[in-house]
Structure 1
């Protein structure tokens, strides 16, 4: 079998382990551990000098980790000013937050070119390449310029926006043309896949070459949907077992108070201000819950040097104080806002103790926290998931209470239903969602993508298989 080479913006070096890794890292590690291979990416180091840092190589568990540092100017232009100030807001439907600069675009292309140049000497003729996420949209095109003819697949972990959004970006045609150099493009949802194809068709002629096989910009490529999963049994194992002493004491102190939990990094795409207002609507519209519930929002700081993130943090702190001041009493605080990081193992135990998860992003590629919450529940007394219709996970977890995050009264009503839902219904919904999580787990995601890449990488070879129903 050919060697698997994975490329991502960041790599999870072996000292971290899978238990502390995020969704991308867990999926990549699962694929690499089953086949062996090479993982190539940035190690998080930033150099003040313009001297090209040497590659660092580590071997662990049959995987070769090859990492590099970035020079400060490259980091600023490629990562901060284009990846996170242009692509991220645009792909999450926030054109108002896009800060396009020609210099940043040139830096983004330059770093992709540099990484391709550094990876190319490490490649073997029969390697299969799997590239991940929005930082590396032009990466295959740069490799092709260097003569690399290996199979190259790409998976986008975030949403792909509608043509009206995407084609507003000044370099949209170059980005689309670059993406068509991949043999296989994977998306989280069918909406994302069609948005990409519609964007291409508005710019150039898009021809069909079979089931989900296409031709555009003088390239043949395939597209498919691969909703990323989790390791449900591993999550269940982390969540169960004895509680740490402080958590056990907290559970005793809470008594009959029901807990609502939400956890994500601090980001404007997560709909946190709207969520706080929806919780306030719950307290206003359903006063019987006052003094009997508690909402805990965990939101560790993300990209704290970006003004938009500083603004949302200030807004949440203000709203939390206002809601607590309006509805709180001497012996009851309705809302806890924690701007800090929690260990993933501890978080799974927290999920298991809570009655409701409130996960309402305004736009999300998948949202693995929603899946982790379900997997962490006690099968005999599970909590309820309230989930935004704009999260990719809503396409699979249809037994959750699906809401419109822009409608605070709709979210408040769903919270009321969740807090009062009979145990029998909670168990039924939990079983239905767990069946989906087990069927579409992280291992299935990786194997399905790589199997499809092998099928289409001959450039005009066999067609993609028909995807099974996801739920």
Structure 2
């Protein structure tokens, strides 16, 4: 007890000395801060008045000068404003200028502003003099409040130190007693047990508890973020506002192979087409809300007729919101980069559809060259050294590193829209190291699911020398860190395409009339690209199985398959289309009737409005991908319905 008393007394004495020593220092420091603040305010007032006051002095406009001074006088801390001429006579003054104030109180200037403290007229004043029009502008501030605030601050300091001393005393005594008790218990245990098995201090036992608390806090923070996101009303305007607030003056550049708008020549006229693409469906509303530039391959037959001299076109055509920059590719570049490495190599490599990937050195060279061409386009379009570059999909695995080398301050966000294979499967790619290094040029690398993220981190761990933080999901390679995250992609809500659509009953009647389907026939629909990963053949076989096992549905159910042509140069896609058409023809020949077909196959592009019309008209929508990243057809079907009906399979 005596030791505790001595400790507390010594601590209080030391803190008392510190308080006495610091009190004048704190008071003087606060006074200087406030005075400096007033000097800056005076300078701002001077710069505001300089031009209009000089003009009014030149015209001898006394009333105008009085009006200017009175406007400044409204500030409660401004005691007065005046102007002294070269004879040191106070020619003009504001109404609140202290009676008896003359230019002798104002310090003389030598071309620079001068300030002087005065205790006059029963007040503490700070007088600032600024050279102006052959005389000097005098701005007087009342600084009496500084003394009061300085005294208050010194009082708060003393009280804070007293409270701090009490807290330190209590905590120190408590910790000392607990430590002593733990030490004594350890000593007692050491006497009763062998040295090798002596009890450890309790502080070591707290480590698991600390880890558990951290995990709970991380989980709680995740829940809090989810709740915040749920409460936030996400809309294009919300996204634009957040981007403007968090990243003011930001420049957004999107890079993708597929363009959001395609111009084709049809019967001698230019026809606008919106491609059937989940990437376009997900990204186009974002770039429309944030404006910016979308760089894409100009693949349409009339694309080059629709751009300006810089290969630009403002889109959407009806209400331009951003710029589409088209990049032109030769036949050889398309064959090697797009049809070759991207779709004969990377696409089957990443999808478990049992199509063997093909890797050719010539395709790789074209892939590198095209990625370089698009990187050049990004550099050409960037107006600032720190743009936000959104790189899309497996066509541009090398582009993030190429852009990073030339725009080191850019924020590069890459999203891989298809699955990422496990490290064992990825190992068959001859250029796996180059692809991984290219993607790690990104600031953020996104995938659809955590499983895909884990596969990517596993591939990096196996094939690159890098540092991986599994807890934070970051990869550090070559001195740069990439954040790897999963972002399940979604669609615009509400979809723009449904705004002009009639109710579901009307859409159904329109579709039945166009396709020649009876009113008593149930309609199923599938909307895909003609791709072997989408399970189109399996879908047709399922319809055949339905008719075999349930013949009562013959004549009462039709399945409409929209299959947009894609990658027609590749033999595997040509074979798929031929098999699908032959299978549909066989099923129709076996079960069809003069006025009814079980399968209606339309191998053509449909606009978003037409697709959503079909969704509203259908009784059932089938999504049967063999392997996919994040299929948006399922979400679009649900979003299209306005009657809370329809079945999604």
Range class of TM-score, shorter chain: 0.7 to 0.9
Q: Is the 8 A contact 2:535 2:624 kept in 1?
A: yes
Deviations 1:276-317 (A, max 9, x none): 222222222333323321112221322212111111111112
| Structure 2 match to 1:443 | none
CA–CA distance in structure 2, aligned partners of residues 34 and 307 of structure 1:
39
| Structure 1 match to 2:415 | 155
Is residue 435 of structure 2 the alignment partner of residue 187 of structure 1? no
CA–CA distance in structure 1, aligned partners of residues 273 and 604 of structure 2:
21
| Structure 1 match to 2:386 | 126
Is residue 631 of structure 2 the alignment partner of residue 383 of structure 1? no
Change (3 A) 1:290 1:99: same
Q: 1:353 aligned to 610, 617, 625, which one?
A: 617
The aligned runs of 1:317-466 (5 Å cut-off) are 317-329=581-593, 332-380=596-644, 382-386=645-649
Q: 1:11 aligned to 252, 255, 259, which one?
A: 259
Q: Is the 8 A contact 1:129 1:152 kept in 2?
A: yes
Q: 1:266 aligned to 491, 516, 530, which one?
A: 530
Change (3 A) 1:346 1:65: closer
| Structure 1 match to 2:284 | 29
CA–CA distance in structure 2, aligned partners of residues 304 and 178 of structure 1:
29
| Structure 2 match to 1:431 | none
- Bigger drift between 161-170 and 210-219 goes to 210-219
Is residue 299 of structure 2 the alignment partner of residue 38 of structure 1? no
Q: Is the 8 A contact 2:512 2:518 kept in 1?
A: no
Compute the displacement of 1:39 (Å). Answer: 2.0
Which structure has the bigger radius of gyration? 2
Q: Is the 8 A contact 1:200 1:206 kept in 2?
A: no
CA–CA distance in structure 1, aligned partners of residues 558 and 262 of structure 2:
38
Compute the displacement of 1:35 (Å). Answer: 2.9
Give the gaps of 5 or more residues in structure 2: 1-247, 264-270, 303-307
| Structure 1 match to 2:360 | 101
Deviations 1:376-419 (A, max 9, x none): 12324x11000xxxxxxxxxxxxxxxxxxxxxxxxxxxxxxxxx
Deviations 1:214-243 (A, max 9, x none): 324543111111122112423543543454
Compute the displacement of 1:272 (Å). Answer: 1.2
CA–CA distance in structure 1, aligned partners of residues 300 and 553 of structure 2:
48
Give the gaps of 5 or more residues in structure 1: 48-52, 387-471
Q: Is the 8 A contact 1:78 1:105 kept in 2?
A: yes
Is residue 461 of structure 2 the alignment partner of residue 207 of structure 1? no
CA–CA distance in structure 2, aligned partners of residues 134 and 359 of structure 1:
23
CA–CA distance in structure 1, aligned partners of residues 529 and 321 of structure 2:
32
Is residue 481 of structure 2 the alignment partner of residue 220 of structure 1? yes
1:142 match: secondary structure: helix
Change (3 A) 1:163 1:12: same
CA–CA distance in structure 2, aligned partners of residues 35 and 225 of structure 1:
22
Q: Is the 8 A contact 1:206 1:214 kept in 2?
A: yes
After TM superposition, the runs of 4+ consecutive aligned structure 1 residues lying more than 6 A away are 14-21
Compute the displacement of 1:255 (Å). Answer: 2.3
CA–CA distance in structure 2, aligned partners of residues 158 and 101 of structure 1:
21
Q: 2:502 aligned to 229, 234, 240, which one?
A: 240
Q: 1:78 aligned to 337, 358, 363, which one?
A: 337
Q: 1:291 aligned to 550, 555, 566, which one?
A: 555
1:130 match: secondary structure: strand
Is residue 311 of structure 2 the alignment partner of residue 56 of structure 1? yes
CA–CA distance in structure 1, aligned partners of residues 619 and 507 of structure 2:
17
**Relative contact order, CA 8 A, sep 6+: which one is greater?**
1
Q: Is the 8 A contact 2:567 2:573 kept in 1?
A: yes
CA–CA distance in structure 2, aligned partners of residues 284 and 13 of structure 1:
43
